[in-house]
């Protein structure tokens, strides 16, 4: 039996309509950083950055389980810690996919995984107090997702983002992917 998860990053292509479809699907969703605001009924909020948690922890209005990528942040905020299975650099969107695999996903749908700053930095605009993506981070993301894809071990990962520069995963419109 296929166990499908949806991972939602914060690329500018993410829409409220996409998130409404995800919510209606009943599938578990892992949202990255501020994307919990688009899908407050997500199962999980994942953010790697301690600085993000520092800025946003007290304002989160969601009952989603909270996960991070380092022990210090987990202890500081009393949230779940998920160690990376990949060596080298990483990003929160990549780690959300790893977490879905850890939870037993055999199929993962991606939204907001634009991996480009051509249409802006995030669906919510620039962070005011945190670093925002630039051409160097975008190039790094492409490498990080390619490394993840190489070890995904039979997990089907489909990028359903409305527009994306990420080419290591097959693409499919969200509606089609949800109907399977």
Question: Is the dihedral angle over the CA atoms 23, 160, 66, 134 positive or is it negative?
Answer: negative
Cβ density class 133-161: b for 16+ within 10 Å, e for less: beeebbeebeebbebbeeebeebbbbbbb
pTM (global) more than 0.85: yes
**Residues spanned by the domain of 22:** 4-178
Cα 12 to its chain centre, rounded Å, is 13
Residue 134 — φ and ψ, nearest 5°? -135, 180
Q: Is 138 left (phi over 0), alpha (psi -120 to 50) or beta?
A: alpha
Question: In the prediction, which pLDDT does 149 show?
Answer: 84
| pLDDT string in tens for the chain (180-residue length) | 569 999 999 889 999 999 999 999 999 999 999 999 999 999 999 998 888 999 889 999 999 999 999 999 999 999 999 998 777 777 888 999 999 999 999 999 999 998 876 776 666 656 666 666 667 776 777 788 888 888 888 899 999 999 888 888 999 999 999 998
Question: In the prediction, which pLDDT does 124 show?
Answer: 64
Q: Tokens standing for 159? A: 């990028």
List the CATH number of the domain containing 126.
Answer: 3.40.50
Question: In the prediction, which pLDDT does 148 show?
Answer: 85
Question: In the prediction, which pLDDT does 7 show?
Answer: 97
Question: In the prediction, which pLDDT does 55 show?
Answer: 87
Question: In the prediction, which pLDDT does 87 show?
Answer: 76
Question: In the prediction, which pLDDT does 98 show?
Answer: 93
**How many structural domains are present in the chain?**
1
């Amino acid at each position: 039996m296929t166990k499908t998860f949806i991972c939602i990053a914060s690329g500018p292509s993410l829409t409220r309509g996409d998130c409404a479809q995800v919510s209606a699907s009943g599938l578990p969703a892992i949202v990255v950083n501020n994307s919990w605001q688009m899908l407050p009924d997500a199962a999980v909020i994942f953010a790697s950055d301690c600085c993000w948690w520092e800025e946003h922890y007290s304002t989160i209005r969601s009952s989603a389980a909270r996960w991070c990528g380092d022990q210090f942040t987990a202890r500081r905020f009393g949230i779940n810690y998920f160690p990376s299975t990949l060596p080298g650099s990483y990003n929160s969107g990549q780690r959300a996919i790893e977490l879905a695999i850890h939870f037993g996903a055999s199929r993962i749908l991606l939204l907001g995984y634009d991996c480009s700053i051509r249409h802006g930095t995030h669906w919510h605009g620039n962070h005011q107090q945190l670093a925002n993506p630039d051409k160097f981070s975008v190039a790094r993301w492409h490498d990080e997702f390619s490394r993840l894809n190489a070890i995904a071990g039979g997990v089907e990962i489909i990028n359903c983002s409305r527009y994306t520069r990420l080419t290591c995963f097959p693409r499919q419109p969200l509606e089609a992917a949800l109907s399977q």
